[in-house]
Amino acid sequence: MILQIQKGENNPVLRKKTQTIDKIDEGILQLVKDMIETMNKNSGVGLSANQIGRNIRLFVVHPNLSKKTVFINPKIYKASKKKIISEEGCLSVPGVYKKLQRAKSLKIEAVDENDKQFKLKAKDLLARVIQHELDHLNGILIIDKNE
Ligand code: ZN
């Protein structure tokens, strides 16, 4: 099912810090499927749960970018000092593109859709998408960030 994307820089749903997921149940698994479908339909490379109105710590990334696509309760535990500047857009603030500095590479820990904890090394575009989506889960949008 295609879900509606929450939009607007002052949208309260996008501005709230999201909550840890305690249990991966049928509802979460269905949500993951719907989020992937919604991301693809909108030609996105990532989508976070609060972007479709759910206040929980979950995001998905496009399978072209990563072998891991579902990130539940994600945590970046290492980020490179080296930064890269590149232009970013966001499905929740359409029409806005901003050149942002992001860590070139990082290490992230999360739980997947099978309730399995994993660690992943990411660089370049994948690292950027992960940082963008984690910002979402903390209520931060690209318009808040300095170039
Ligand atoms: Zn976004």
Over residues 58-77, the mean pLDDT reads 97
Q: Which residue has the higher pLDDT, 147 or 86?
A: 86
| 138 annotated to a ligand binding site | no
Looking at residue 2, the DSSP 8-state letter turns out to be: P
| 136 annotated to a ligand binding site | yes
Cα of 105 from ligand 1 centre, angstroms: 19
Cα of 140 from ligand 1 centre, angstroms: 9
pLDDT of residue 72: 98
**Residue 1 confidence class, pLDDT cut points 50, 70, 90:** very high
What's the pLDDT tens digit per position in 37-64? 999 999 999 999 999 999 999 999 999 9
- Cβ atoms 133, 72 nearer than 8 A: no
For residue 105, what are the CA distances in angstroms to 36, 82, 137? 24, 8, 19
Cα of 89 from ligand 1 centre, angstroms: 7
133 is catalytic: yes
**Residue 147 confidence class, pLDDT cut points 50, 70, 90:** confident
As beta bridge partners, residue 48 has 59
| 62 annotated to a ligand binding site | no
| Residue 146 predicted with pLDDT over 90 | no
At 18, list the tokens.
């999201």
Percent of the chain with pLDDT over 90: 98
Any idea of the CA torsion for 56, 29, 73, 55, to the nearest 10 degrees?
A: 0
Q: What one-character-per-residue DSSP string does 77-141 give?
A: EEE-S-EEEEEE--TTSTT--EEEEEESEEEEEEE-TTS-EEEEEEEHHHHHHHHHHHHHHTT--
Q: Is 26 exposed, middle or buried (0-12, 13-18, 19+ CB in 10 A)?
A: exposed
Among the options 37, 87, 133, 147, which is catalytic? 133
Cα of 127 from ligand 1 centre, angstroms: 14
pLDDT of residue 62: 97
| Residue 18 predicted with pLDDT over 80 | yes
CATH code of the region 19-144 = 3.90.45.10
User: pTM of the entire structure?
Assistant: 0.97
